[in-house]
Amino acid sequence: MSKNSEKKIDQHVSTSQALDDEQRVKVLSPGMLVMKRFFRNKLAMAGLVILIAMFLFSFVGGVVSPYGESQVFRKTEYVWKDYAGATDNDAYIFTVKEGMNFPAAAQQKFILAVNQEQESFATNDAEYGLEKKGDVYYQITSAEPVATVLTLKGKSSYKEAGSTPVTDEIKEGYTEALEAGEDSFEVDGVTYSITKAGRQDMISVSGVIGIATKKVFNAVSQEDAPGFGFQEAALGAIAEDKSSFEYEDTKYEMQSLKGQAVEILKEGQVYATISSLLVSPQTAGSFLSLPFKEAVEEAILEKADTFTAINEKGEEEKYQLQRKNTQYVVRSQKKTTVNDTFHSPDSKHWAGTDGNGMDMLTRLMYGGRISLLIGFVVVIIEVVLGVIIGGISGYFGGWVDTILMRLVDVVICIPAMPLYIIIGSVMDYYKIDPRIRIYALCAILGVIGWPSIARIVRGQILSLREQEFMVATEATGIRISRRIFRHLIPNVIPQLIVFATMGLGDVILMEATLSFLGIGVKFPYASWGNIVNAVNDVYVLTNFPFVWIPAGCLILLTVLGFNFVGDGLRDAFDPKMKR
């Protein structure tokens, strides 16, 4: 061979190690060519970088995070809680004499009698009288039957009706009362009343059994609560406009306070107050001190929003006064431990906390695991079902193809979203475990989504089964399953990879949509979809954007990354693409 020929041959032998060298590319394998085209695509590389970052964030981030997925953070703070209520009392308060009884039915009859301005009323075969003592209180008396009197031709006959014997003094007093036209008389300090009972007269013993007033008595202590006798004496002094009264050989002084309140002093010390304001505790069984009630009334009169008073520990405490229609609510600050909800991002919680007091960054990491896992599992289910059904349909054709394609048409016609909502509602009703819901969600999405892959595989195999290499496999006697899955399906893999990659983004979006609607992944497990579900609350949407914006951005980036990679693979597998 001449030197010139050797020189020409050397000029066509490449010594470059670069993948894009013209002569080297010509001898690259098809796989290397696909890789070269893929890595040369800038958008595909950007998508690959995004996906790598998402996988590291989700699967590695959850491992290195110092917090758990469902770890709740608590904080101690002072919160305003309802402590007491106050209202202008407009209902009658009944105080019954010791040993006497005034049932609820009688109390209702009393109110009716007062409204109708009656002086007596009856209930359960008992007669009651009432006497108004100014504008302060009513005195309630009962009428115990003594005797019935029937008078004919000026002669009266007496029939005992109770345990009291009818004496000559009673008969004489009755006769004198009739002659004087009076309806009562007194014998030995006991007052008897006369009432008509048909053709007969009824002689009854009148006695005070209780009082009814709209005034509220407030005592210094629960043990010193004023009884019937004390209240009657105090109210009587107010009705007669006195500045003092005596009860059980003890003198009590009275002085007016702001408003209509009256303070009762015993030996120069405050013993009780009488007020028109009813102050009651929010907690049953609690006792509100007299200074506290006085402070509440003073704050209401002054229309103050806050006031200070001595609490049950004897310490001065600040209270808040709020008006609700005709009532007032007294609130006090209580030290309590609550969930650290919607905590703004800081050095401890880089992405803040959610409405349950959980670390948002950690929830995003674990949520990425769920979203990506569901995406891959669903796509694998779709590919497996689609390859099997599409491969069999495309290879055999005929009646097999017709039956399988009608099955595909039926599945495609199923309304997916209503089906998801129905199944989600059923799982809610039976309270299915949240982890089982995740598996069920994967299965449902996979079973509904395989028909499109089956159609792609069928179409590719219909064009490949008539090629020479398939004739060769038939001639060599290779079994049918091996022809389909060993020789036909590998030729469809490039299209499957592209379709599956681009379908991953759609599955993640569907999972996010279902979780957003509350029928997907359930608490306490996190997914990007149920994290974004927080925007159902307008208050959270407008005031705490750090709760939902990061999850939305992660969904956007992940779907964008899968789409970029899918586009890059599609271009790389395209045989018409320029080298």
Same domain, 218 and 141: no
Same domain, 234 and 175: no
pLDDT band at 462 (very low <50, low <70, confident <90, very high): confident
Three-state SS string across 163-226, please? CCCCCHHHHHHHHHHHHHCCCEEEECCEEEEEEEECCEEEEEEEEEEEEEECCEEEECCCCCCC
pLDDT given for residue 575 in this prediction = 57
Same domain, 154 and 231: no
Same domain, 412 and 480: yes
- What is the percent of the chain with per-residue pLDDT over 90, rounded to a whole number? 22
Does residue 579 carry a pLDDT above 70?
Answer: no
Same domain, 365 and 489: yes
CA end-to-end span of the chain, whole Å? 34
| Contact of 130 with 119, CB cutoff 8 Å | yes
Same domain, 329 and 461: no
CATH code where residue 444 lies: 1.10.3720.10
Instruction: Decide if 485 is inside a domain.
Output: yes
| Residues 6 or more apart whose Cβ sits within 8 Å of residue 545 | none
Of 191, 212, 233, the residue that ends a domain is 212
Does residue 73 carry a pLDDT above 90?
Answer: yes
Instruction: Decide if 35 is inside a domain.
Output: no
Interior/surface letters 358-395, b for 16+ CB within 10 angstroms, e for the rest: bbbbbbbbbbbbbbbbbbebbbebbbebbbbbbbbbbb
The stretch 132-157 carries a mean pLDDT of 82
Of 338, 362, 391, the residue that ends a domain is 338
pLDDT in tens, 100-126: 778 888 889 989 988 888 888 888 767
User: How many domains does the chain contain in total?
Assistant: 3
| Residues 6 or more apart whose Cβ sits within 8 Å of residue 172 | none
Same domain, 115 and 156: yes
Same domain, 256 and 199: no
Task: Tally the C-alpha atoms within 13 A of residue 139's C-alpha that lie toward its C-beta.
Answer: 15
**Radius of gyration, alpha carbons of the chain:** 47
pLDDT band at 379 (very low <50, low <70, confident <90, very high): very high
Task: Tally the C-alpha atoms within 13 A of residue 316's C-alpha that lie toward its C-beta.
Answer: 2
Instruction: Decide if 344 is inside a domain.
Output: no
pLDDT given for residue 368 in this prediction = 92
pLDDT given for residue 578 in this prediction = 47
pLDDT given for residue 294 in this prediction = 86
pLDDT given for residue 56 in this prediction = 95
Q: Which of 154-163, 305-314, 473-482, 503-512 has the highest mean pLDDT?
A: 503-512
Same domain, 430 and 413: yes
Same domain, 232 and 316: yes
Of 314, 338, 362, the residue that ends a domain is 338
Instruction: Decide if 83 is inside a domain.
Output: no
Structure tokens at 178: 């009739």
| Contact of 163 with 231, CB cutoff 8 Å | no
**CA triplet 506, 511, 515: central angle to 5 degrees?**
150
pTM equals 0.61
The stretch 420-448 carries a mean pLDDT of 87
Place of tokens 């009197």: 149
Taking alpha carbons only, the member of 212, 213, 217, 211 closest to residue 279 is 217
Does residue 470 carry a pLDDT above 90?
Answer: no
pLDDT band at 146 (very low <50, low <70, confident <90, very high): confident
Give me the domain span that covers residue 192.
Answer: 93-212
Instruction: Decide if 6 is inside a domain.
Output: no
Same domain, 326 and 360: no
Same domain, 156 and 280: no
